[in-house]
Amino acid sequence: MDGRKFCCAVVMLVGAALLLAGCGGPPPPRPKPLGPVAPLPSTMGRNPQEVAMERALGDFYGAPYKSGGCSPAGVDCSGLVQALYHQAGVKLPRTVAQQFQEGKPVERGELHFGDVVFFNRYCQTQGREVMMAGLLAPPGYADEVCHNGFYLGGGRFIHASPRGVFISRLNAEVWRVSYRGARRYLPDGK
């Protein structure tokens, strides 16, 4: 190969490498949290279970995501809900689907601190593709639940996603369109 062809081949290889390196793009930015969990106004006269859950929230805020995890060292969505309720002395099943089958259904307009909100965001299809809200989905997908969070009040909920534990707003489009219901687990109905 003469020098000119060699240089041309090197330039093409370097150009292709640079082009391919740019295909992946930078990782998506971490969501900006809506701020730490603000304490509820007062513990006076409040349900001691709610107070226990509120105290546990601070330990989990900002925790990394870990599939199957249920501690501040690493937690997934249903593990977070289970751990918060454990602090209140309430035993919940481990998975999102199991948690959705328990408790008392709650209307969206009736939500208050401690209720658990459920979504079909992050549902998997055929074990490979992540389904996102708003995209075409297979039959039955709309009824599926595979993500949940702990309602804080004021339209905010805390949840564990692949980006860690943070606070989101229920009225954000992605959560609004993937919302599938809520449950209440405290035995006294609060």
Q: What is the C-alpha separation between 115 and 152, in angstroms, rounded?
A: 8
Helix (H) or strand (E) holding 4: helix 3-23
Instruction: Choose the catalytic residue: 70, 77, 123, 146.
Output: 77
User: Catalytic site residue 146?
Assistant: no
Residue 81 backbone phi and psi in degrees, to 5: -60, -45
Q: What is the C-alpha separation between 136 and 156, in angstroms, rounded?
A: 27
Mapped to the 3 state alphabet, what secondary structure does 60-111 carry? HCCCCECCCCEECCEECHHHHHHHHHHHCCCCCCCCHHHHHHCCEECCHHHC
Q: Name the token pair of 94.
A: 């481990």
Residues in the chain: 190
Instruction: Choose the catalytic residue: 70, 123, 146, 147.
Output: 147
User: Catalytic site residue 86?
Assistant: no
Q: What is the C-alpha separation between 114 and 150, in angstroms, rounded?
A: 6
User: Catalytic site residue 147?
Assistant: yes
Q: What is the C-alpha separation between 174 and 170, in angstroms, rounded?
A: 9
**Active site members:** 77, 147, 159
